[in-house]
Amino acid sequence: MESLPDLLTTFILTGLPHAPELDTFLFGIFLVIYVLTLVGNLLILLVIIVNPHLHTPMYYFLTNLSFIDMWYSTVTTPKMLMTLVSPEGSPVSFPSCVAHYPLRYASMMSGRTCALLATTTWLSGSVHSAVQTTLTFRLPFCGPNQIQHYICDAPAILKLACADTSTVEMVIFVNIGVVASGCFLLIVLSYMSIIHSILKIRTSEGRWRAFQTCASHCTVVLCFFGPGVFIYLRPGSKEVVDRIVAVFYTVMTPLLNPVVYTLRNKDVRKALLKLKDKVVYSESK
């Protein structure tokens, strides 16, 4: 009787495709990006929490964004760094791989509404990820165990399964397609409303400033949704291209978010200066 193949308990992340002599350079670049991402998002959280003037719906959601970005980057970037210092690849256990995979306005957006929207976002994102993760890791993995990526990403992992993955691939395609399309549609509708309001601004200088803000926001949105759509919603997959493109939404977006959405804000800059003055004053005592 033919014996069944042993199932895998450990995967190896091969990392980004690059020349070996670039290990140190890339490690330094991504380490700096990771540190700046953590410091930037932690700073935003601290400033918004300690400053009562920033306890408004907009900054409530920005704290959620900073919190998500901080942990999202912590899940992905350190593994990338490990692949750069380990020529043979970075080992990751099966459970760890599963874990890889968050004016009138103030009167309308009450604290209850903000909490409900934030909770709905967290829950829907968790369910969305849980469906893909459960379906992917219920498959048998018999070998090889090298994941051609720097994170445990579904398309790269499915290639290692020793079973038919067509059903799982279709579910992931539809799942991501519905979620990504829905989110993108809401963002487009929001910006259509914003642009309509901007056009009502009487001064050209005011319109220009508003359009500049929208342009920077749209850049971050495209950096996140563009690579995601490219990787998950196109037929076929090219491992090298996918790994490079994934850098935009796993590494660059968490770094850009605190800069574009928060640090460019006048109120936040004032709060940062006040916080700095408090720190300097306390140290001078």
d(CA 17, CA 233): 22
Domains and CATH numbers, the chain: 10-284 (1.20.1070.10)
Are 73 and 34 spatial neighbours (Cβ–Cβ below 8 Å)?
A: yes
Are 102 and 125 spatial neighbours (Cβ–Cβ below 8 Å)?
A: yes
| Neighbouring-strand partners of residue 147 | 13
Beta strands in 110-251 (DSSP E): 146-147
**Tens-binned pLDDT, residue by residue, of the chain (285 aa):** 445 456 676 788 888 877 788 888 889 999 999 999 898 888 888 888 888 888 887 788 888 888 888 888 888 888 888 888 886 777 887 777 777 664 445 555 566 777 787 788 788 878 878 888 888 888 888 877 888 888 888 888 888 888 888 888 888 888 877 777 788 888 888 888 888 888 888 888 888 877 877 787 788 888 888 887 777 776 665 667 788 888 888 888 888 877 787 777 777 778 777 777 777 667 666
Are 42 and 69 spatial neighbours (Cβ–Cβ below 8 Å)?
A: no
- CB-side exposure of 276: number of CA atoms within 13 Å? 6
Determine the pLDDT at residue 2: 47
At 108, which helix (H) or strand (E)? Answer: helix 104-108
Within 10 A of 156 (CB to CB), how many other CB atoms are there? Answer: 23
Within 10 A of 257 (CB to CB), how many other CB atoms are there? Answer: 27
d(CA 135, CA 102): 21
Are 157 and 13 spatial neighbours (Cβ–Cβ below 8 Å)?
A: no
